[in-house]
Structure 1
Amino acid sequence: MPERTARYRDVLAVGEFRVLWLAQLQSRMGDQFARVALALLVFDRTGSAAVTALVYAMSLLPPLITAPLLAGIADRHSRRTVMTVTELIRAALSALMIIPAVPLPILALLVLLVTCPQPLFSAARTATTPQVLPGRLFPVGQAIMSGTDNIAQILGFTLGGALVAATGSPHLAIAVNTLTFALSALMLRTGLGPHLPDHDGVAEERTRSGFALAGIRYVAGDRRLLGLAALTWLFGCFVVPEALAAPYAAQIGAGQAAVGWLMAADVIGAAVGMLLVARLGPTARRRLTVPLTVATGVPLVLTLTAPSLPVTVALWALSGLFGSYMVLAQTSFIESVPDGMRGRAIGFAAAGLQTAQGLGMALAGLLASALSPAIAVAACGAVGAAAGLAIGLHARIGRDPATDRGPAPAATTVGNLA
């Protein structure tokens, strides 16, 4: 019999999923409002591109450290409580940033503090989603979350910039972000069940440090899980077109107006691709993960010759479309981790993804300066495609884990990981 997949309306009919989805959607848009506002506010005060970039980076870098350390809280307490308290803390910190007289060093500190708890919220939300959407509903829900998250980022950047331009007040955009944190907390507290972590079958280590780091050891001890995480980290190779859009546009003589199209191309393709893969059955999802990973890099390689703007936009959009492999890899990863371990495992994988994206963009920038933006994009695409194939073969991703388990992984029981 053909494998049945859930319909979008089946997923959207689940009230708790709608709460998780809408809370995340509006909060994500608020984050982008704040990032645009902060960039404009800091540059207006300092006139320094370096300081502006540093403060912007501070809104992205803290999760590299806090993700593996804080995410374990989501495996100790009610995930509704964790998400609600996290949003209220971020709302309070963000509210302080609205005050016009706040000195720049204090503003930078607040940016750092408001970003630190973000991985805890994400880990709790992601770990809750399979409880809210059991079985065949979960992959579709995960795709909806991922696809609309891209759209929210585009709308947030666009509308945030428009709001600041229309009002001349970055603080108003920051106030909007503060409101989204508070609204998210209210929605989650009133529309979601407690969702306590299920520790059945997961023997916990007693020390605080052992508990926090158990997710790393669990993933590292399972070849398939580590392979799935590594495939998501390869996105650091495939995201470089966004970072090199401006110099690439200059290389092909397309002008500044083309930068927006180039930056949006892969995001639009990803949003479409994620919705297309949502309805795939379990076998198709498993078998397509590695081929789509490899395919994501191929259109980027084809930009080696720096083709015209329309061709480049089409190629980068196609790369984003194939980049929907991220939904498949993340879904398989989450489904393979016991509920009582999900927060910590997700925190580790998320930290690796953010690190990979930062390193990928930095290295691509150096390569573009030494050679050319087109060569840098093509090289990153080739490395990502080749590494995806190697990881897939080594981790045996694509085979049925129920019939291809081999020896039990060393990290199956967390209590034995000392």
Structure 2
Amino acid sequence: MGARLPGRHRRASERQATYGEVVAIREFRALWYGQGLSLLGDQLAQVALAVLVFNRTGSPLATAAVYALTYLPSIVGGPLLSGLADRFARRRVMIVCDLLRALLVAVMAVPGMPFAALCVLVFFVVLLSAPFSAARAALLPEILLGDRYVAGSALQNMTNQAIQMLGFAAGGAMIAFMGPYRALALDAATFLASALIIVSGVRRRPAAGRTDGSKPSMWTMTRAGASLVFGDRKLRTLVLFAWLCGFYVLPEGIAVPYAAQLASGTTLPVPVITGLLMAAMPTGTVIGALLFSRFVSPSGRLRAMGWLSMLTCAPLIVCAMRPPLIVVLALWILSGIGGAYQLAANAAFVQCVPAERRGQAFGLVQSGLMAAQGIGILIGGFAAERLGPEPVVALAGISGVTVAAVLAMMWTESRGDIVARVRAQAAA
């Protein structure tokens, strides 16, 4: 017992930041409010598009394809455009992206807009999210230092998931009254509001690029960022942990056909069941982030990453037994709770990446993450056409648990110096 006391004492001395500390920071509040507003509009738009496509086609593949369209543009332009967050002032990048997205979504909201044109506009709206997200992710560690970054990330993550939960759960009912075009108009207004909040709440900073004044090409920056992220074993493992979400986000992409299967055992209409299913994982993520950030020490979060990553996928395997709606919701909520491991992975990633290269690094990770989700959803829709939604969700769970177990072993071998660094910072 005596030999283990020092280790326990070090863990007990790790200071954890509070939510009150981070909310008191004006710039964080601006990023927090702006992100929340635009995300709320996006959820309404996603539900509207998914229900519209399924009603027109009755095809799980077509529904999943349109849902995947909100992820796939990152494959095309994300890695290149993310470098803008290091090349130009990050505040300016965020404002310009918000204004351009507001304009594009406003065009989408014109009644009678052809469906093909809507898909093209969605593509470019999502494409602009790459530099915006990279700039915001790179700016946050400059505003929140030490464990405040984890607390702020957790609060932002919980808020985002709560907004998704609200948007998805209420979206089906609201679309019945508002119609899809009004939902898109509301989405455009949220982008404008986000830009105004960033203008008023985030102070100007110079670009984080090179101090010698040189401006390498976007292609050169992309290659350098890829070399940084994938050339280091720890960073590579952390990136793969982030991309694991391609497995456990798959059920959201086939939520409409899954809801159609479940509707026979309940009096609820398909749009309402769809909203409940799409809200289940965000609900679990809110719970998991709250517990993980408030009751687990900074170093304990890093040690728990492997187990929690497996928890994100394991409950999905039970869907093979075709349980009723209430059980499916419980399983998906449990999966969302496991997703709290992403907080620790994100904090560890920040520890390992130089500040002046965070925009490109975060952008590459975010682009791959979006691509993994889009490809997973597209494959899920294709498979659901042939096997049905329940077996496809279960197969995603089996595959995800297998990959997560391998990553957990890799992380155990390489996490030592990061855990020591986090302990030292938290105890300071």
Q: TM-score, normalised by structure 1?
A: 0.85
Indicate if the aligned counterparts of 2:70 and 2:374 stay in contact, CA closer than 8 A.
Answer: no
Any runs of at least 4 consecutive aligned residues in structure 1 with deviations exceeding 6 A, and if so which?
40-44, 50-53, 200-205
Question: Aligned to 1:401, what secondary structure does the other structure show?
Answer: helix
Corresponding position of 2:410: 394
| Amino acid of the structure 2 residue aligned with 1:150 | Q
Structure 1 pair 313–282 and aligned structure 2 pair: CA distance change class (3 A):
same
Corresponding position of 2:299: 283
Distance between the aligned counterparts of 2:103 and 2:45, measured in 1?
A: 14
Question: Aligned to 1:149, what secondary structure does the other structure show?
Answer: helix
Distance between the aligned counterparts of 2:413 and 2:265, measured in 1?
A: 41
Distance between the aligned counterparts of 2:73 and 2:203, measured in 1?
A: 29
Residue range with higher mean Cα deviation, 103-112 or 138-147 = 103-112
Corresponding position of 1:152: 163
Give the C-alpha shift of residue 237 in structure 1. 1.3
Q: 1:32-47 to 2 correspondence within 5 Å?
A: 32-38=43-49, 47=56
User: Tell me, which stretches of 5 or more residues in structure 1 are unaligned?
Assistant: 406-418
Distance between the aligned counterparts of 2:54 and 2:255, measured in 1?
A: 21
Give the C-alpha shift of residue 272 in structure 1. 0.8
Structure 1 pair 159–299 and aligned structure 2 pair: CA distance change class (3 A):
closer
Give the C-alpha shift of residue 104 in structure 1. 4.5
Residue range with higher mean Cα deviation, 318-327 or 246-255 = 246-255
Structure 1 pair 181–366 and aligned structure 2 pair: CA distance change class (3 A):
closer
Corresponding position of 1:214: 224
Indicate if the aligned counterparts of 2:258 and 2:389 stay in contact, CA closer than 8 A.
Answer: yes
Give the C-alpha shift of residue 101 in structure 1. 5.5
Question: Aligned to 1:154, what secondary structure does the other structure show?
Answer: helix
Q: Which has the higher contact order (CA 8 A, sep 6+)?
A: 2
Q: 1:206-355 to 2 correspondence within 5 Å?
A: 206-245=216-255, 248=258, 250=261, 254-255=265-266, 257=268, 258-279=273-294, 280-355=296-371
Higher helix share: 2
Question: Aligned to 1:290, what secondary structure does the other structure show?
Answer: helix
How many residue pairs align between the two structures? 402
Indicate if the aligned counterparts of 2:237 and 2:407 stay in contact, CA closer than 8 A.
Answer: yes
Corresponding position of 2:5: none
Task: Spell out, residue by residue over 1:273-320, the C-alpha distance to the aligned partner (whole angstroms, 9 max, x if none).
Answer: 012112333211110111111222222233443334333332221121
Give the C-alpha shift of residue 150 in structure 1. 1.5
- Which of 120, 128, 133 aligns to 1:109? It is 120
Structure 1 pair 389–195 and aligned structure 2 pair: CA distance change class (3 A):
farther
Residue range with higher mean Cα deviation, 356-365 or 312-321 = 356-365
Indicate if the aligned counterparts of 2:243 and 2:372 stay in contact, CA closer than 8 A.
Answer: yes
- Which of 177, 186, 202 aligns to 1:192? It is 202
Structure 1 pair 140–233 and aligned structure 2 pair: CA distance change class (3 A):
same
Structure 1 pair 244–100 and aligned structure 2 pair: CA distance change class (3 A):
closer
Indicate if the aligned counterparts of 1:128 and 1:195 stay in contact, CA closer than 8 A.
Answer: no
User: Tell me, which stretches of 5 or more residues in structure 2 are unaligned?
Assistant: 1-9, 422-428
Task: Spell out, residue by residue over 1:93-112, the C-alpha distance to the aligned partner (whole angstroms, 9 max, x if none).
Answer: 22223333545544443332
Corresponding position of 1:411: none
Corresponding position of 1:175: 185
Task: Spell out, residue by residue over 1:333-385, the C-alpha distance to the aligned partner (whole angstroms, 9 max, x if none).
Answer: 23321111111111111121122222323334455555554443333222212
Task: Spell out, residue by residue over 1:249-278, the C-alpha distance to the aligned partner (whole angstroms, 9 max, x if none).
Answer: 627963473554433322211111012112
Corresponding position of 1:135: 146
Task: Spell out, residue by residue over 1:35-66, the C-alpha distance to the aligned partner (whole angstroms, 9 max, x if none).
Answer: 3445567789xx44577765554333212222
Corresponding position of 1:6: 17
- Which of 375, 379, 390 aligns to 1:363? It is 379
Give the C-alpha shift of residue 152 in structure 1. 1.3
Counterpart check, 1:19 vs 2:35: no
Give the C-alpha shift of residue 141 in structure 1. 0.6
Give the C-alpha shift of residue 131 in structure 1. 0.8
Distance between the aligned counterparts of 2:248 and 2:213, measured in 1?
A: 37
Structure 1 pair 296–59 and aligned structure 2 pair: CA distance change class (3 A):
closer
Indicate if the aligned counterparts of 1:38 and 1:170 stay in contact, CA closer than 8 A.
Answer: yes
Give the C-alpha shift of residue 142 in structure 1. 0.6
Indicate if the aligned counterparts of 2:38 and 2:194 stay in contact, CA closer than 8 A.
Answer: yes
Q: CA RMSD in A?
A: 3.1
Residue range with higher mean Cα deviation, 391-400 or 121-130 = 391-400
